[in-house]
Chain A
C-alpha cells in the first residue's frame, strides 16, 4: 500500500506537517496571535484529516511487526551511508517509515489529541509564538516515534520530544513548574541514555547480508534486529537467554517504563501533570504515556523475546502494583488534577498487565486500552481545565453542585468519568475486560488482585462525582457559565469515540488484530 501527495509519502506528510506549521509560526510576527493559532490548528487539522484517510486506506489483514513486505505506506530512503573501510563495514542508517496494526490507531490518537490540544490552547496568551512553535515540534516528535521503523530514527524522534516538553511545562506551567519540568526531563533523559546504549549494542550485534553485493551491513533497521539469524556470532547480544540480553532487556524496559510510567518510575508524572498547562497535560496523558507501552511492543517484545518471556511475571507484577497503588493514591488526593494523574498510572498498569500476558486477547486489550485511555484521560484533563479556567481552583472540596449550574459540562464529564470507571457500554470497559481476560490466562493470582483495583477506581470516581458535581452549589459559583462552542468542539469528538467504541469496538479491534496476533505468535515462537 502506498499513497503519495506531491510525490511525498503520506506518512512523511503526517509527521512533518507540524514542522511546516512551526516554520510558518516562527515567521509570523509576534502580535498576530490569531494567525499563529490558526496556523497551528491548520497544521494539526490537516494532520488529523490525513490520519483519517490513512485509517480508511489501511489494509486490516496485513501483518506487519517483523515482516517488511506487509507494512503499509512504507517509505524507505537511505539517509546516512558511510562506505566500508578496512576495519569497519558499511554503515547504514535509513529513513524508514511504515505502519501496521500496532501503530495505526496510535497515529490516529496522536493526530486527534494534538488537534484537540491546539483548540484547548486557544486561550493561552503568554508568548503565543513560542508556545505553538514548541507545541508543533512536540507533535512531530510524538508522531515520528509511532511511524519510525529504524531504531536511530525512532530514537531521534523520541528525544526530540523532551526539550519542547521541558519548556512547555517549565514556562507555561503552574507555580512549581520548574521543579516539575526538570524532574520530567531528568527521568526521561535517563531513560533515553539507557535506550541509546542498548541501541548501540544491538547495532553492533546485528548485521544482515546485502542481497545485491553479499556485503555484511550493520544496520539500525528494527525489522532486521527482530530476525535472530542476523545476530553476529560472538557479538554481545548473540544467542538466547544470555546475561547480556537480559541486561539489555532490563535497560530497555526501564527506559520505556519511565515513560509509561510504571511503578516505581512514576514519580515524575503527578508533578508534571499538576504543573503543566491543561493542553500539555492532555498531550502527556493522551499520547506521551502510550509511547512507553508502544515502544515495548514495537522494540522490546520482538527484538528480545527471550527476555520478555523471562521477565513476564515482573512486568505483570509491576502492572499490578501500578493498578492498585495508582488507585489508592488517587483516592487520597484533594487536587482534581492530581487525582487524574494517579488514575493514569492505575490505568496504564492495566495496559502493562494485558501486554505482559503474551496472549492475543491481553495484547489486543492492552493496545485498545492505550487508545481508550488516551481519549478518556484527555477528556478528564480537559474537564479539569474547563473548571480551572473559570475559577482558578481545582481542589475537589472547592466545588459542589456544579451539575445544576453547568448541565452540558456535567453531561460530558459523566461520560468521561464513567468510561474511566469502566462502565459497560463505554469504551473503557471493553479494553479493560480484554486485558484482564488475557492476563487471567497467564497469571491467575496477579490478575485477581489487580481486578480489585477496579473497585478502588469506582470508589474514587464516584466520590469525585459526588464532591464536585452533586450537593450544594456555593454562592461564588453561581455565575459559572456552561461550555462554549470552542470547548464543545474539543469534547464532542472524544465523547463520540468513547461511546462508539463502548457499544461497537469491532472496527478498532479489526484494525489491530492481525498484527497483534502475529506479534504474540512471533514472541512466543521466538523463544522455542
Chain B
C-alpha cells in the first residue's frame, strides 16, 4: 500500500506543483505588496512548469489513490487545454484595464485563478463520485469570487450573486443525483457504477431521477439550456478576463467530467466490445456484457435526453443571441450555443462522437478566447462593450478588425478556419451515427448563428466610423498575444492532421 501511495503521489506531481504555485502566489503577494501585479509572473512560470510535468504524463493510463483519480490520455489532453487557457488568461489579465479598479487585491486574483485551474485539473481526472463533486465545488467557489472581483462595480457584484445562487442550486442537483446513484448502486466510483449497471439495476425509477439530476448539475457547468440562465448575466457582469475563463476553461472542464462519467459508467459502445473481443477468450463474456448493457440503456434513454438538450440549446441560444446589443452578452449566448453543438457528440454513444467533442473543445478554446481578447482590447481603449460602438472599427484599427472578423467567422464555422473543422467533425460524427434530425437542427442553428456574427462584422467594416473616431493603438504585447491566438485558428483550418490525431488518441480513458 505504501509503495502504491508513493506511486500515486508521483503521478499527481502536476497537481502538487499547482498547489505549490498557489502558495507561491500568496507568498509573493505578501512580499511584493504594492508591486503585486508581478504575481502574474510567478503564476505564469508555475503554469509553464506544470505544463512540462503534464507533458511527461503522455501515454500513461493508470488510476491512482485507489480509483480516486485517473491519469490517462484523456485527462492529459484536457490538462494541456486548461493550462493553455490558464496561461492566456494570466496574459489577458496583465493587459486588462478593468482589473485596475482593484489593483490592491490583484495578487489574490492570480491566486484564485491558480486555484480554479487546480480544481479543474481534478475535475478532468476525477473518477470517484465524491471527488467529482468536491472538484466541481472547488472550481465553482473560486469562480464565484472571481466573477465578483471588481466588486466596486455594481454589475460585477450582481454577477457574482447570481452565479452563487444558480451555482448552489445546481450543486444541489449534482450532489442529490450522486447520492441517489450511490444509494442505488452502492458504488463510490464510476467503475463501481458501471459494474452494477452491467449486472442490472433493480430501481429504474430512482436511477432515472439520479441521472436527470446529474445531467442537470453538469448542464449548469457547461451552460446547456435550460440551465444556462446564469451565463449571460454572469458573463456580462464579470471582468472580461473571468468571462473568458468561464466561457472556455470552466466549460471545457465541465465537459471533460461529464464525458468521463457517462463514457465509463453508461456507454455501451461498439468500441468497448471491440476492445474486449480482441482478446479471444473473453468473447463470450463480451457478448454477455453487451446484452445486459443494451437492456440497461434501453431502460434509461439518457442519450436521448442529451440529444434533446443539445438541440434545444443550439436553436434557443442562437435565436436569443440575435437580439443582443452588448458584445459580451452576444458572445455569452454564442458560447451557450456552442455547448449545444459539442453536447451532440455525447448523445451519439460513439467514440467518434467523443473525439469530435475533443476536437471541437480544443478549437473552441482558441477561437472564443480570441474573440474575447479583442473585446477586452476594445474595452481597454474605448471603454465600451456595445456592438453599436464597434462601428468602423475595421477602419480605425485594421488589425483588430480583421482578427475579430477571423475569430467570428471561425465561430460561425467558415472554412478555411479551424471552426469549420470543428463543425465538420461534430456534424460528421452525428451523421455517421445516424442522427439525421439532430444534424439538421445543428445545420439550421449554424445558419441562424451567422446573422449575429455577421452583424458585428458589418458594424466593423461596412459602417463608416463616427466623425470623432481616432485610430486605435494596440501595444506590441497585445499584438503578440493576438497572433498566438490567431495562429491555431488559421493553421488548424488548413492543416488539421495534428489536432485530429491528438484528439483521437486522447479518447482513451482508464478502465474502458
Say if A and B assemble together.
yes
CA distance A482 to B275 in the complex (A): 79
Q: Which of chain A's residues have a CB closer than 8 A to the CB of B269?
A: 87
Select B447's contact among A81, A87, A186, beta carbons within 8 Å: A186
CB nearest neighbor in A for B425: A200
Per-position contact with B for A158-182: 1 when CB-CB < 8 Å, else 0?
0110110011001100000110011
Select B462's contact among A80, A160, A170, A236, beta carbons within 8 Å: A170
B393 to chain A, nearest CB (A): 14
Select A170's contact among B274, B351, B458, beta carbons within 8 Å: B458
The dominant DSSP class at the A interface is: helix
Which of A191-199, A291-299, A362-370 forms part of the interface with chain B? A191-199
A96 within 8 A of partner (CB): no
* B274 near A86: Cβ-Cβ < 8 Å: yes
* B450 near A186: Cβ-Cβ < 8 Å: yes
Which of B281-289, B313-321, B431-439 forms part of the interface with chain A? B431-439
* A236 near B431: Cβ-Cβ < 8 Å: yes
CA distance A62 to B444 in the complex (A): 41
Per-position contact with B for A79-105: 1 when CB-CB < 8 Å, else 0?
111110111100100000000000000
CA distance A374 to B444 in the complex (A): 33
B22 to chain A, nearest CB (A): 37
CB nearest neighbor in A for B421: A80
Select B434's contact among A83, A85, A155, A236, beta carbons within 8 Å: A236
CA distance A203 to B271 in the complex (A): 21
CA distance A182 to B450 in the complex (A): 10
* B415 near A159: Cβ-Cβ < 8 Å: yes
* B458 near A178: Cβ-Cβ < 8 Å: yes
A35 within 8 A of partner (CB): no
Q: Among residues 263 to 285 in chain B, which have CB atoms less than 8 Å away from a CB atom of chain A? A: 269-271, 274-275
Q: Among residues 412 to 428 in chain B, which have CB atoms less than 8 Å away from a CB atom of chain A? A: 414-416, 420, 423-424, 427-428
* A156 near B500: Cβ-Cβ < 8 Å: no
CA distance A197 to B446 in the complex (A): 12
* B424 near A87: Cβ-Cβ < 8 Å: no
A38 within 8 A of partner (CB): no
* B450 near A189: Cβ-Cβ < 8 Å: yes
Chain A residues with a Cβ closer than 8 Å to the other chain, count: 38
B55 within 8 A of partner (CB): no
Q: Which of chain A's residues have a CB closer than 8 A to the CB of B416?
A: 156, 160
Known contacts A87-B270, A88-B352; is-contact A167 B461 (Cβ 8 Å):
yes
B10 within 8 A of partner (CB): no
A8 to chain B, nearest CB (A): 17
Known contacts A185-B454, A193-B443, A200-B428; is-contact A86 B500 (Cβ 8 Å):
no
Per-position contact with B for A503-516: 1 when CB-CB < 8 Å, else 0?
00000000000000
Q: Which of chain A's residues have a CB closer than 8 A to the CB of B446?
A: 193
B354 to chain A, nearest CB (A): 10
Q: Which of chain A's residues have a CB closer than 8 A to the CB of B297?
A: none
Per-position contact with A for B451-483: 1 when CB-CB < 8 Å, else 0?
100100010011100000000000000000000
B496 within 8 A of partner (CB): yes
CB nearest neighbor in B for A157: B415
Q: Which of chain B's residues have a CB closer than 8 A to the CB of A193?
A: 443-444, 446-447
* B431 near A201: Cβ-Cβ < 8 Å: yes
A204 within 8 A of partner (CB): yes
CA distance A189 to B462 in the complex (A): 19
A412 to chain B, nearest CB (A): 34
Q: Which of chain B's residues have a CB closer than 8 A to the CB of A80?
A: 495-497, 500
A190 within 8 A of partner (CB): yes
* A200 near B352: Cβ-Cβ < 8 Å: no
Known contacts A197-B427, A197-B439; is-contact A178 B271 (Cβ 8 Å):
no
CA distance A199 to B410 in the complex (A): 20
B504 within 8 A of partner (CB): yes
Q: Which of chain B's residues have a CB closer than 8 A to the CB of A197?
A: 427, 431, 439-440, 443
* B451 near A186: Cβ-Cβ < 8 Å: yes
CB nearest neighbor in A for B496: A80
* B424 near A159: Cβ-Cβ < 8 Å: no
CB nearest neighbor in B for A158: B415
CB nearest neighbor in B for A155: B415
B350 within 8 A of partner (CB): yes
Q: Which of chain B's residues have a CB closer than 8 A to the CB of A86?
A: 271, 274-275
Select A177's contact among B454, B462, B501, B504, beta carbons within 8 Å: B462
* B497 near A82: Cβ-Cβ < 8 Å: yes
A234 to chain B, nearest CB (A): 10
Q: Which of chain A's residues have a CB closer than 8 A to the CB of B462?
A: 167, 170-171, 177-178, 181
- Among A156, A163, A186, A196: residue with most chain B CB under 10 A: A196
CA distance A197 to B444 in the complex (A): 11
B409 within 8 A of partner (CB): yes
CA distance A167 to B409 in the complex (A): 13
CB nearest neighbor in A for B272: A87
Q: Which of chain A's residues have a CB closer than 8 A to the CB of B461?
A: 167, 170-171
CA distance A160 to B436 in the complex (A): 26
A241 to chain B, nearest CB (A): 18
Per-position contact with A for B242-277: 1 when CB-CB < 8 Å, else 0?
000000000000000000000000000111001100
B417 to chain A, nearest CB (A): 10
CA distance A503 to B428 in the complex (A): 50
Q: Which of chain A's residues have a CB closer than 8 A to the CB of B436?
A: 236, 244
Q: Which of chain A's residues have a CB closer than 8 A to the CB of B432?
A: 200, 204
A113 to chain B, nearest CB (A): 24
CB nearest neighbor in B for A194: B443
Q: Which of chain B's residues have a CB closer than 8 A to the CB of A178?
A: 458, 462-463
A94 to chain B, nearest CB (A): 13
* B497 near A204: Cβ-Cβ < 8 Å: no
CA distance A81 to B447 in the complex (A): 29
* A196 near B427: Cβ-Cβ < 8 Å: yes
CB nearest neighbor in A for B275: A86
Per-position contact with A for B388-418: 1 when CB-CB < 8 Å, else 0?
0000000000000000000001000011100
Q: Which of chain A's residues have a CB closer than 8 A to the CB of B275?
A: 86
Select B497's contact among A81, A163, A181, A244, beta carbons within 8 Å: A81
* A182 near B501: Cβ-Cβ < 8 Å: no
Q: Which of chain A's residues have a CB closer than 8 A to the CB of B450?
A: 185-186, 189
Q: Among residues 49 to 105 in chain A, which have CB atoms less than 8 Å away from a CB atom of chain B? A: 79-83, 85-88, 91
Known contacts A86-B271, A88-B351, A197-B427; is-contact A189 B500 (Cβ 8 Å):
no
* B447 near A159: Cβ-Cβ < 8 Å: no
CA distance A155 to B461 in the complex (A): 26
Select A82's contact among B415, B420, B504, beta carbons within 8 Å: B504
Q: Which of chain B's residues have a CB closer than 8 A to the CB of A159?
A: 414-415, 420
CA distance A88 to B433 in the complex (A): 12
A471 to chain B, nearest CB (A): 39
CA distance A474 to B443 in the complex (A): 55
* B443 near A87: Cβ-Cβ < 8 Å: no
CA distance A412 to B82 in the complex (A): 65
Select A87's contact among B274, B454, B500, beta carbons within 8 Å: B274
CB nearest neighbor in B for A202: B431
* B271 near A204: Cβ-Cβ < 8 Å: no
Q: Which of chain A's residues have a CB closer than 8 A to the CB of B424?
A: 196, 200
* A189 near B497: Cβ-Cβ < 8 Å: no
B430 to chain A, nearest CB (A): 9
Q: Which of chain B's residues have a CB closer than 8 A to the CB of A162?
A: 414
Q: Which of chain B's residues have a CB closer than 8 A to the CB of A181?
A: 458, 462
Beyond A81-B497, A193-B447, 12 additional contacts (C-beta under 8 Å) are A80-B497, A80-B500, A87-B351, A87-B352, A156-B415, A171-B462, A181-B462, A193-B443, A194-B443, A196-B424, A196-B427, A204-B428
9 example contacts (A-B, Cβ-Cβ < 8 A) are as follows A82-B504, A159-B414, A171-B461, A178-B462, A182-B454, A185-B450, A196-B423, A196-B424, A197-B440
Binding site for B on A (CB under 8 A): 79-83, 85-88, 91, 155-156, 159-160, 162-163, 166-167, 170-171, 177-178, 181-182, 185-186, 189-190, 193-194, 196-197, 200-201, 203-204, 236, 244
Binding site for A on B (CB under 8 A): 269-271, 274-275, 350-352, 409, 414-416, 420, 423-424, 427-428, 431-432, 434, 436, 439-440, 443-444, 446-447, 450-451, 454, 458, 461-463, 495-497, 500-501, 504-505
Identify the 4 closest CB pairs spanning chains A and B, nearest first.
A87-B351, A156-B415, A87-B271, A170-B462
